[in-house]
Every structure is written in structure tokens, then in C-alpha cells.
Amino acid sequence: MPLTLCVLLWAVDGQVRSLARYEDEVLALVPRHGGRVLSRVRSVPGEDASRPTEVQVIEMPDDAALAAYMADPDRVALADLRDRSVARTEIVRVEQVVG
């Protein structure tokens, strides 16, 4: 059963560009596991720093595909960049709502 995730990311102070570079690289791996990036947005510079730096909505075919993506060797190889640039991540399973 497909799952939809809302991913909220906060950058380490002064590392917004580094976070964006990291996300560019790891999100490029999503299709390899049958997933799709449905939306990706960033907060406006100068806005409330307590808010997420970036928000993504990602669809994966199932939990196995998500696990494979998380364990992808190319993604794991970027852990150092992630540790330097991402202060916090929250992942929320969500449902599409048609209004």
C-alpha cells in the first residue's frame, strides 16, 4: 500500500545551502526505490527560525521501499554532509486530502 510522508527539516545555523545540497542529492535517489517527490518547498529567508527550513511531501510504494531508500548505500554515504547541515528532521505519515 502506498504511503505519503511529510518531511520537515531544520538546518544547522548557517547551513541552509548545505542542507539544500544534501537534499538535492538524496531526493534524486527516491525514484530508484519507486517513490516520487510530490512537493518540496523552503521557508522564506528571515522568517521565524523556529519553523522548518524545508518541507517535502514524498510518496513511496510501501514500507519496504522506504526502508530500502533509507538504507541506500549512496544515501548512507552522505551521512557526514547530513550531520553537518541538518539539525532536526521530523517525518509524518499523511493522507492526501482533496478539497
Cα 1 to chain center, whole Å? 20
Say how far apart CA 88 and CA 59 lie, in whole Å: 21
pLDDT in tens, 9-48: 999 999 999 999 999 999 999 999 999 999 999 998 877 7
Rounded CA-CA distance 83/18 in Å is: 10
Of the chain, the end-to-end C-alpha distance in Å amounts to 23
pLDDT at 50: 86
**Average pLDDT, stretch 66-79?**
98
- C-alpha cell read off for 66: 522506504
